Amino acid sequence: MNASGKTTKTLVWILMGMLILGLGGFGVTNLGGSVRTVGAVGDKPITTQSYSRALQQMLQSQSSASGGTLSFAEAQAQQLDRIVLSQLIASRSLDYETARIGLSVGDDRLARQIVTTDAFQGIDGTFNREDYRFRLQQIGLTEAEYETIVREEMARGIVQSAMFSNIEPTPVYADTIINFLGEERDFTWALIDESTLEAPLEEATEEQLVAFHAENQSRYMTPDLRKITYALLTPEQMIEQVEVDETTLQQLFEERAAELNRPERRLVERLVFSSEEEASAAAGSIASGEKNFEAIVTERGLALSDVDMGDVTLAELDDAGEAVFTAESGAVVGPLPTSLGPALFRINGVLDAVVTEFEDVKDELRDEFAQSRARRLIDNERDTYEDLLAGGATLEEIAAETIMELGQIEWHSRADGGPSGYAAFREAADRITTDDFPEIIELEDGGLIALRLDAEEPAVAQPLNDVRDEVTADERQSRLTAALTAKAEALAADLGEGRAFASLGVTPRVESGLSRSEFLADAPASLIVDVFKLQNQGDSAVSGSGGIVALVQLDMIIAPNPDDPELASTRELLEDQYRNDLAQDVYNMFITDIQARTPVTLDEAAINAVNTQFQ
């Protein structure tokens, strides 16, 4: 098969997955019989069904900030619904163009594509007409509608293959990055520390400390404080009111028996055959050593993932269970009867039965039940607290009348203690104003809190005496860094006049073959960057960061090794990325050109009607 054919087949397989696996059973309802499209490109309609499927696929493929499924509201906030619509418009633009130039695929090629699609094949690996009809019914398509979609998809794939097939990047892009990444350098360097100075650093005078404190007041500010009063109720506070008797714990234990006590299980793979003769022949090949289980699976056009049953119990295997559960791990048994036909089973592991005694988990069950019960009690009391606040009760009055605890905190971004460990509290503490009335806020553990901003204290400069030790250390470090930098610059000047590094009175360190990605633990963080700024052998520089100062001299520039397999792999990735970027640019320009000469219409009412189905 040529490249065009492979690309087209891949695109159609992607279409199969979108329509059949990810979107089966999803449809648009309650839109009215006349609402069938959300727009069109020329005479190519964008159906409500295709738009809804694309939205569903988008939601299934995205994750929310919390790690769960993305909600439609979150998707709309990120304008993902509009991106989906623009992608559909682009696809239909290509469909319009292929129709305009008379490009299509014949019935024979379309038929071959459909009958070789995995989703429409039966147990024996051949096309199954009933499976075909059933799959299409699941996604609300007739055979004619689906075949039109596939025909257009294949034609679209031919155009895309033509656009993407002969794009070759210039070598300059990859060469530039490879030279940057692969170049290495030999250099000599030395730390310039206080011992290299001609005289010890003198202690700062009071005048110097005062001046340094005044010049760097922003370093010695108090944080912005928000004085907050809060009333807090946590599950731990409520647990004291929860009584758990032995009968309740025993009932919990029995309810969770299936979780706490699990029967023996086997990790099993099952390969089903259409006849007893085929299964017996395969079993004989394995027993004789002629073939292994993996080879038999591959011959059937399957992968091991297709025959993997995971962990199963004896009961789940019905009539085949006894033989499987008496076999050793690694054994292949069968043929054995199954509801799908005779099958071979391979045992990949044995999971022993799990037996848990009540006494072993009694304390854990007690804590779990008490926490759960406490959260329910808190939730039941929530309306009471909200009614008290709505009636004008202060936080102090609520704390006096209920078990909520009153507290105060001077809140800032680095504060700890009290309720500051709760994200909900931190968010509320940052946004509350003195004009806000307290309201009940639910915490992550099921607790409740209400807070009131009493006052704000803006950041102010701390007096010198309050931060004297810190100012003294900072001022000395500032003078020391300046002295070390001046010393290093003087030594660099000596190097520039031809003096040898070893004669400078410092301890030289020689590095060989270091790239830009290297890191030297006790060197200034900027040292490697400064080394690669040097252009000629013998050039020197002073590198300093974080109070550490170093002198460095370039000994040799080493060009990238063209035979380095890692660099060759990197070059290949860069060229592929560049090629894909160019192809995407060509594709975008082609779509833009089509849309510039073709009317594109959208029905916002129909779009909103589909969107409503997801809200």
Residue 268 lies in a domain: yes
Residues 525 and 378 in one domain: no
**Measured distance CA(530)–CA(532) in Å, rounded:** 5
Residues 500 and 442 in one domain: no
pLDDT of residue 387: 87
491 neighbors 193 (Cβ within 8 angstroms):
no
Last residue of a domain, one of 515, 540, 558: 558
Residues 231 and 270 in one domain: no
CA distances from 309 to 48, 93, 306, 366, 424 (A): 38, 44, 9, 36, 43
> Which residues lie below 8 Å from residue 535, measured CB to CB, with a gap of 6+?
none
Last residue of a domain, one of 323, 351, 379: 351
pLDDT of residue 536: 93
pLDDT of residue 258: 59
Last residue of a domain, one of 457, 478, 495: 457
pLDDT of residue 462: 92
Residue 411 lies in a domain: yes
Residue 209 lies in a domain: yes
Residue 583 lies in a domain: no
68-85: burial string, b at 16+ Cβ within 10 Å, e else: eebebebbeeeebbeebb
Residues 388 and 438 in one domain: yes
Residues 343 and 488 in one domain: no
Domain range holding 194?
184-216+468-558
**Mean pLDDT, the chain cut into blocks of 10 residues (615 residues total):** 45 45 38 71 89 86 66 86 91 90 86 83 78 80 85 86 77 87 93 90 93 94 91 78 65 64 83 87 86 86 84 84 85 86 88 70 66 74 86 90 88 84 89 90 85 91 94 94 94 90 91 92 92 93 92 94 87 87 87 90 89 81
pLDDT of residue 123: 72
Residues 152 and 55 in one domain: yes
Residues 211 and 229 in one domain: no
Residue 585 lies in a domain: no
Residues 67 and 152 in one domain: yes
User: What pTM does this model have?
Assistant: 0.50
At 425, which CATH number? 3.10.50
At 125, which CATH number? 1.10.4030
Residues 272 and 156 in one domain: no
Residues 135 and 194 in one domain: no
Residue 359 lies in a domain: no
Residues 421 and 504 in one domain: no
Instruction: Provide the terminal-to-terminal Cα distance of the chain, rounded to the nearest Å.
Output: 45
- The half-sphere exposure of 278 on its side-chain side, counting CA atoms within 13 A, is 13
Residue 108 lies in a domain: yes
At 278, which CATH number? 3.10.50.40
**Measured distance CA(556)–CA(536) in Å, rounded:** 8
* Number of domains observed in the structure of the chain: 4
Residues 85 and 17 in one domain: yes
From 68, 57, 142, 143, select the one nearest 107 (Cα to Cα).
143
**Measured distance CA(561)–CA(564) in Å, rounded:** 5
Residue 193 lies in a domain: yes
> Which residues lie below 8 Å from residue 339, measured CB to CB, with a gap of 6+?
318
